[in-house]
Amino acid sequence: MKEFVEPLGMRVLIRKDESRTTTRGGIVLPDQAEIPTITGRVVEVSLQIERDADFPIEKYDKVLFHPKNSIPVDFEQDNLLYVVPIEDVVAVFRRHDDPQPRRRGKAGREDDTPE
């Protein structure tokens, strides 16, 4: 039987990206450097968020989130999974060739009408 984690309420499950020890410019970060926001991929979305058109977040989206209220999930050996309240997801990365953000209607389908 395969186990999985399903977030409840207004939460998403995120796989945190690996921590970087150097910036893109080549600056080496000290071990104790704390970056207040981190990136990751959405692994699972709660049904409540999935049905809410105000939150255009879907499975596999890359997001920027604040880890303060995140709950680590002791599910994998490297412990990169976090249950994150939706209010701590501060941005979703989108492709430049995607002219408008995807908006879902209440039924969970994409809505092509401009707002």
% pLDDT > 70, the chain = 63
**Pair 57, 42: CB distance under 8 Å:** yes
Domain range list for the chain = 1-18+35-96
Residues 6 or more apart in contact with residue 54 via CB below 8 angstroms: none
Residue 75 has pLDDT above 60, yes or no: yes
Q: Which residues pair with 71 in a beta bridge?
A: 83
pTM for the model: 0.68
- Write out pLDDT tens, residues 80-98: 899 999 999 999 998 876 5
Mean pLDDT of the chain: 79
Average of per-residue pLDDT across 47-68: 93
CATH fold group of domain 1-18+35-96: 10 Kd Chaperonin, Protein Cpn10; Chain O (2.30.33)
SS3 28: strand
